[in-house]
């Protein structure tokens, strides 16, 4: 297993989660590619997106259903500021992972985390596991628990 994927597997186990990382033969970099690779709907794919909340200029992680787009103005207002997308360098620094493989946990620095409430409708969702070809299935309530996320409307 790729070292980044192994790190996620260990983090899942440490959190008391039975989810198993799966390395796929094809790319899971985008929500559409991931859904095709695992045989799910795009809505069941978790996009781990890093934004910057101003003030105070802090990176935040938003776990978004693959079928949704974040309304940055509305979500920023809910969080008490304005949101802007983080660039690739900041994503790498804050999480320790490159865009296309950012997992919802085991980051380089602790990040305030928000989970798209639309993910809660599914029995199983799929999240990135540190590389553009590694994912893991999980039920959304477990993901909410192990990430310490707050459920929010992202639209």
Burial class (CB in 10 A: 0-12, 13-18, 19+), 126: buried
Predicted local confidence at residue 93, as pLDDT? 97
Predicted local confidence at residue 115, as pLDDT? 98
Q: In Å, what is the CA distance from 45 to each residue of 7, 58, 67, 96, 107?
A: 20, 25, 8, 21, 19
- At 79-125, the pLDDT tens digits run 999 999 999 999 999 999 999 999 999 999 999 999 999 999 999 99
Predicted local confidence at residue 125, as pLDDT? 98
- At 44-54, the pLDDT tens digits run 999 999 999 99
Predicted local confidence at residue 74, as pLDDT? 97
- At 14-32, the pLDDT tens digits run 999 999 999 999 999 999 9
- At 119-134, the pLDDT tens digits run 999 999 999 999 999 9
Cβ contact 119:65 at 8 Å:
yes
What integer best gives the mean pLDDT of the chain?
97
Predicted local confidence at residue 37, as pLDDT? 97
Closest CA to 55 of 82, 77, 75, 73: 82
Q: Is the CATH number 3.90.960.10 carried by domain 3-152?
A: yes
Give the residue extent of every domain in the chain: 3-152
Q: Which two tokens stand for residue 68?
A: 């949704």
Helix (H) or strand (E) holding 52: strand 45-54
Cβ contact 99:48 at 8 Å:
no
């Amino acid at each position: 297993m790729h070292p980044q994927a192994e790190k996620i597997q260990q983090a899942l186990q440490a959190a008391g989660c039975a989810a198993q990382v799966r390395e796929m033969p094809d790319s899971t970099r985008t929500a559409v590619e991931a859904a095709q690779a695992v045989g799910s709907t795009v809505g069941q794919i978790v996009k781990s997106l890093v934004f910057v909340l101003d003030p105070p200029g802090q990176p935040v992680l938003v776990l978004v259903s693959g079928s949704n787009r974040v309304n940055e103005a509305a979500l920023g207002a809910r969080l008490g500021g304005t949101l802007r997308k983080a660039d690739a360098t900041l994503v790498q620094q804050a999480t320790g992972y490159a865009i296309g493989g950012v997992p919802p946990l085991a980051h380089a620095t602790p990040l305030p985390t928000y989970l798209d409430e639309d993910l809660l409708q599914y029995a199983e969702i799929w999240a990135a596991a540190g590389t553009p070809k590694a994912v893991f299935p999980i039920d959304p309530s477990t993901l909410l628990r192990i990430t310490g996320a707050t459920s929010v409307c992202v639209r």
